[in-house]
Amino acid sequence: MIAPLHRLLNLSRKSAFGDDRGRGGLTLNPRIVLGLLIIAGSLLYNWFGTTHYHNEFTGRDQTLALATPQEEIAMGLESTPQMIRESGGLSRDAKARAMVERVGARLIASTAARETPYQFKFHLLADTETVNAFALPGGQIFITEALFRRLKSEDQLAGVLGHEMGHVVGRHSNEQMAHSKLLGGLAQGVGVLTSDGHSNTGAYIANLVAQWRVMTFSREDESESDALGVRFMMQAGYNPEALIGVMEILAQVSGGASRSDFMSSHPNPANRMEHIREVIAKERAGR
């Protein structure tokens, strides 16, 4: 029979083995118990508190924090007004906004994305300083004027929007939430286990490893979205090589294509270009 936890914790608090009166026996350090409980709780959440899903777009099995697309849609819609405000509002260029919406609609109509429950909407933001595009869970997709003005063709715009659609149907934000909660809990537990009351080195290392792993997942998501973007472009009749041109633009903005991937949320542009070429060749070979 297993003794109650409160009795185990009260066996002794002065030594690792034996009690303070010299009797033999195993003593459980409360700090170790707490660390193990945090780790166990994180693992139990990851298995029982998440949704396990096979994604037909990516071909992968995923662990998700949010169970349904409707929850993702609600989260994205709730965050959209704030994203627009933080970017200075929507672009005042009605013609450019219409182009973004038209290219997005063509991508949706030509691909399996139209069969999903996601509520895709494409926004051109007024921000002329930040070269960026991003997607919220559920289908809200944004591109800044700073990036839009650098694009040289409609095909390149399709590449950007197709990539962001890949994040949505890949359910990457949802998956990242589950990963982050698991890794954060494990790092916290390891930090408690390795702490001696004087140094937080163990916690620092554990958090660094967790951060590195999250970055790795993020880079994998970017590569996956590049591949989905190529597929969507080709299905909609756009030139997929245009996405390589987008990577060249990003390389120029970031100061070069050869930076390291380590501790970065995105693969470097040179690696992405090579990956995109490989994906294009595979997609064409499969047709």
In a domain, 29, yes or no: no
Residue 6 lies in a domain: no
Domain encompassing residue 53: 46-191+205-285
Residue 212 maps to a domain: yes
pLDDT at 74: 96
Question: Quick check: is 98 in a domain?
Answer: yes
- Segment 22-45 shows an average pLDDT of 70
Highest mean pLDDT out of 1-15, 41-55, 96-110: 96-110
Q: Does residue 175 have a pLDDT over 80?
A: yes
Give the mean model confidence (pLDDT) for residues 204-221.
57
Using the structure block, give the residue that is written with the tokens 């290219």: 103
- Across 192-206, average pLDDT: 59
- Residue 41 confidence (pLDDT): 77
Q: Beta 61-64 vs 51-54: how paired, if at all? A: antiparallel
Q: What percent of the chain has pLDDT over 90?
A: 56
> What pLDDT sits at residue 218?
72
* In a domain? residue 15: no
The per-residue b/e assignment along 39-78, b for 16 or more CB within 10 angstroms, e otherwise, is beebeeebeeebeebebebbeeebbbbbeebebbbebbbe
- pLDDT score, position 205: 53
- The number of distinct structural domains making up the chain is 1
pTM of the full predicted structure? 0.74
From residue 60, alpha-carbon distances to 47, 115, 171, 204 in Å are 17, 19, 11, 32
Q: Which residue has tokens 């990851």? A: 46
If pLDDT is split at 50, 70 and 90, which confidence band does 199 have?
low
Residue 110 has pLDDT above 50, yes or no: yes
In a domain, 8, yes or no: no
Distance of CA 180 to the CA centre of its chain: 9
Asked whether residue 264 carries a pLDDT value surpassing 50, the answer given is no
How far apart, in Å, are the Cα atoms of 174 and each of 67, 76, 213?
A: 9, 11, 16
Q: What is the mean pLDDT of the chain?
A: 81
User: Which of these ranges, 6-15, 101-110, 242-251, has the smallest mean pLDDT?
Assistant: 6-15
What confidence tens digit (pLDDT) does each residue in 12-28 have?
A: 333 333 344 445 556 67
Mean pLDDT of the 146-169 span: 97
* Contact criterion met (CB below 8 Å) for 137 and 76: yes
Query: What's the pLDDT band for 229 if we cut at 50, 70, 90?
Result: very high
Of 69-73, 170-174, 258-262, the poorest mean pLDDT is in: 258-262
**Quick one: average pLDDT of 43-54?**
81
What pLDDT, in 10s, does the model give residues 142-155? 999 999 999 999 99
Structural domain includes residue 115:
yes
Candidates 1, 23, 2; CA nearest to 11 is 23
Helix (H) / strand (E) element for 100: namely: helix 94-110
